[in-house]
């Protein structure tokens, strides 16, 4: 089950051959357009591409972007039952103009206002109804108003009491509300911001990671480090660093979505957090080869594992 900020990522693809006479900006000759699931919907799509069955729970508006979200979910064989429609809100839409594989500009159509109490009630009910058939819960927080402390209180503890995992892709504004979860997957910028200091080296990474792990009383914390890989923090001072396997980086858009999906699918299959972190690291290395939000598959992960050396994993206590 995935709950969070459902979005649509729209792309206008073209080429630039001249500068506008009206202003010092490139003129993009648009050749094609497409739209992909984004945010929590992209997390769900990543779970689906890894072979999982998934319920997507979130809020959409009553607009063109909402219709495209529903079309894309249906195309992937995913249910629309978890979507709550609020006509007073726009569906979050990010429109990117891309020329020669480079993003020229992005336009966001959205509100970040908190959802109303009626939406919170509907989302909580749909989460709890879906819980019986789910191995666990992914919370995808993009700070667009869906994830609120009141909602977290309604869904996190029941999921944990049912013996199921809770994985959070967090936003710094709600970080302290994510207590007692199975794991969180912030990037190093987010983790450093919440801790009040930048992660600059191994010492600051260790200090920030264990401080946040203790503050949230979480089972683990997985900090993504960009080109440096990942760091898995677990209780009793256990830190595992996993170097990146990515050789080519075109676009990191949506890589965090792939990470949480791969962690969830590994845990659902009976793996440990170490298995999950290593699998997520490989999966993220696959999707950043593509421009725009992308997904990977079990076969692609297997192929990537076959093509790289034995993992170099450092355990520090």
Domain annotation covers residue 275? yes
C-beta separation of 37 from 10 below 8 A: no
Q: Residue 221 CA to chain centroid, in angstroms?
A: 15
From the candidates 169, 257, 299, 306, give the one annotated as an active-site residue. 257
**Spatial distance between the Cα atoms of 291 and 15, rounded to a whole number of angstroms:** 15
**24 in a domain, yes or no?**
no
The answer to the question of residue 23 being in a domain is no
Question: Residue 247 domain-assigned?
Answer: yes
pLDDT at 247 over 70: no
Q: Is residue 116 part of a domain?
A: yes
pLDDT tens digits, residue range 104-155?
Answer: 999 999 999 999 999 999 999 999 999 999 999 999 999 999 999 999 999 9
- Per-residue pLDDT tens over the stretch 176-228: 899 999 999 999 999 999 999 999 999 999 999 999 999 999 999 999 988 78
The first and second tokens of residue 199, run together, are 């992660």
Q: Count structural domains, the chain.
A: 1
* CATH for 83: 3.40.1190.20
- Any catalytic annotation for residue 201? no
Please report the pLDDT score of residue 303 as a whole number: 76
Asked, for residue 17, whether it belongs to a domain, the answer is no
Tokens of 171: 């936003």
Whether residue 25 is contained in a domain is answered as no
Residue 20, domain member (yes or no): no
- Model confidence, pTM: 0.89
Tokens of 104: 């020229």
What residues make up the domain containing 162? 6-12+30-316
Q: Which token pair is 238? A: 């256990």
Is 228 exposed, middle or buried (CB count within 10 Å of its CB: 0-12, 13-18, 19+)?
middle
Do the beta carbons of residue 233 and residue 317 sit within 8 Å?
no
């Amino acid at each position: 089950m995935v709950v969070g900020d459902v979005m649509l990522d729209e792309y206008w693809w073209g080429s630039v051959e001249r500068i506008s006479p009206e202003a010092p900006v490139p003129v993009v000759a648009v050749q094609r357009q497409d739209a992909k699931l984004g945010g929590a919907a992209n997390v769900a799509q990543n779970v689906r591409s890894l072979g999982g069955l998934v319920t997507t729970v979130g809020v959409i508006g009553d607009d063109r972007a909402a219709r495209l979200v529903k079309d894309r979910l249906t195309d992937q064989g995913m249910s629309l039952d978890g979507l709550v429609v609020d006509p007073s809100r726009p569906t979050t839409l990010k429109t990117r103009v891309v020329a020669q594989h480079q993003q020229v500009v992005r336009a966001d159509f959205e509100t970040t206002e908190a959802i109303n109490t009626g939406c919170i009630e509907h989302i909580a009910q749909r989460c709890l109804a879906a819980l019986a058939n789910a191995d666990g819960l992914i919370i995808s927080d993009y700070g667009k108003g869906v994830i609120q402390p009141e909602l977290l209180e309604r869904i996190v503890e029941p999921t944990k009491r049912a013996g199921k995992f809770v994985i959070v892709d967090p936003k710094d504004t709600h970080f302290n509300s994510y207590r007692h979860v199975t794991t969180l997957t912030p990037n190093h910028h987010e983790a450093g911001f919440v801790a009040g200091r930048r992660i600059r080296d191994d010492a600051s990474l260790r200090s920030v990671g264990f401080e946040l792990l203790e503050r949230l009383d979480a089972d683990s914390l997985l900090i993504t480090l960009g080109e440096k890989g990942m760091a898995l923090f677990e209780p009793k001072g256990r830190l595992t660093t996993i170097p990146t396997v990515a050789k080519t980086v075109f676009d990191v858009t949506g890589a965090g979505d792939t990470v949480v999906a791969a962690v969830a699918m590994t845990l659902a299959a009976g793996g440990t957090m170490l298995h999950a972190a290593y699998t997520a690291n490989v999966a993220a290395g696959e999707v950043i080869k593509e421009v725009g939000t992308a997904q990977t598959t079990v076969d692609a992960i297997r192929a990537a594992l076959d093509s790289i050396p034995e993992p170099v994993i450092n355990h520090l206590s």
